[in-house]
Amino acid sequence: MYPVVYKQYHRAVVKKFPYAVLYNNQHHTIVVYGVFHTSQHPDKWLCRLDKL
């Protein structure tokens, strides 16, 4: 499991590619909320998570 980066959301960074996966563990089920390029500004994915 990866660390929590925002509220209950975790971020897993893909090693071979410049992407991060934002997900949540809900009742033993992994729910992916987004896959973002790591060069993007962090406010972009924070804004999207706030809309959920």
Radius of gyration of the chain (CA): 11
Residue 21 forms beta bridges with which residues?
Answer: 12, 35
Sheet holding 9-13, edge to edge: 4-6, 9-13, 19-26, 29-37
What pTM did the predictor assign?
0.79
Q: Are strands 9-13 and 4-6 parallel, antiparallel or unpaired?
A: antiparallel
Residue 6, strand partner residues: 9
Domains of the chain: total: 1
pLDDT in tens, 1-52: 788 998 889 999 999 999 999 999 888 899 999 899 989 887 888 888 887 7
Q: What is the pLDDT of residue 45?
A: 83
The domain in which residue 21 lies consists of 4-50
Cα dihedral 12→13→19→23 (10° resolution): 10
